[in-house]
């Protein structure tokens, strides 16, 4: 995809009034997005390495969240070679909920059914069915795991 078209698509995804349209535009930009994913207004997803970001089915990303797969450093650090961090994949698993204004850094894995509180900064793995908050994000609570039968019934309905 050309630079200009890609930029226009990202702007459309950023401001589109319908969340289903936002998800389909991010897919077109290269982000791996599952079914029934909610992406809030003004969510920023890494534009240089969108293929490293995966959002599984039924996940929800609140407004103003940032999802980054790389950190390039300043031009000074790049020229001097003092900061070298390769891009890392980000994985948001099925049913995860990312709160408004959360920051998901390179290499983060958000577990199935996990909740990331508003404003949290995640730089590592959040286990399945946990609530994480803070900067850096820490697990603050455990959620009850849904019964396997309920999950299978919901899968079959869609």
- Arithmetic mean of pLDDT, 75-82: 78
Q: Model's pTM, two decimal places? A: 0.84
- Is 104's pLDDT higher than 90? yes
What is the residue range of 134's domain? 3-157
CATH of the domain at 24: 2.160.10.10
- Is 148's pLDDT higher than 70? no
Neighbouring-strand partners of residue 61? 39, 98
- Arithmetic mean of pLDDT, 85-95: 93
* Local confidence band at 153 (pLDDT 50, 70, 90 cut-offs): low
- Note the pLDDT tens digit of each residue in 24-78: 888 888 899 999 999 998 999 998 899 999 999 999 999 999 999 988 777 787 7
Do 89 and 125 meet the contact criterion of CB atoms below 8 Å apart? Answer: no
Give the total number of structural domains in the chain: 1
- Arithmetic mean of pLDDT, 108-119: 96
Q: Measured on CA atoms in the order 39, 41, 44, 49, is the torsion positive or negative?
A: positive
- Arithmetic mean of pLDDT, 90-106: 96
């Amino acid at each position: 995809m050309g630079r200009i078209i890609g930029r226009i698509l990202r702007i459309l995804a950023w401001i589109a009034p319908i969340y289903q349209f936002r998800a389909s535009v991010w897919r077109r930009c290269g982000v791996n997005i599952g079914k029934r994913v909610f992406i809030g207004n003004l969510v920023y997803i890494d534009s240089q390495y969108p293929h490293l970001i995966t959002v599984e089915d039924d996940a929800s990303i609140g407004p103003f969240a940032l999802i980054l797969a790389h950190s390039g450093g300043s031009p000074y650090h790049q020229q001097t070679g003092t900061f070298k961090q390769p891009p890392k994949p980000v994985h948001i698993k099925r049913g995860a909920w990312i709160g408004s204004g959360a920051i998901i850094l390179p290499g983060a894995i958000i577990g199935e059914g996990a909740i990331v509180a508003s404003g949290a900064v995640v730089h590592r793995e959040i286990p399945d069915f946990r609530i994480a908050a803070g900067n850096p994000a820490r697990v603050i609570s455990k959620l009850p795991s849904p019964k396997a039968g309920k999950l299978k019934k919901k899968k079959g309905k869609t």
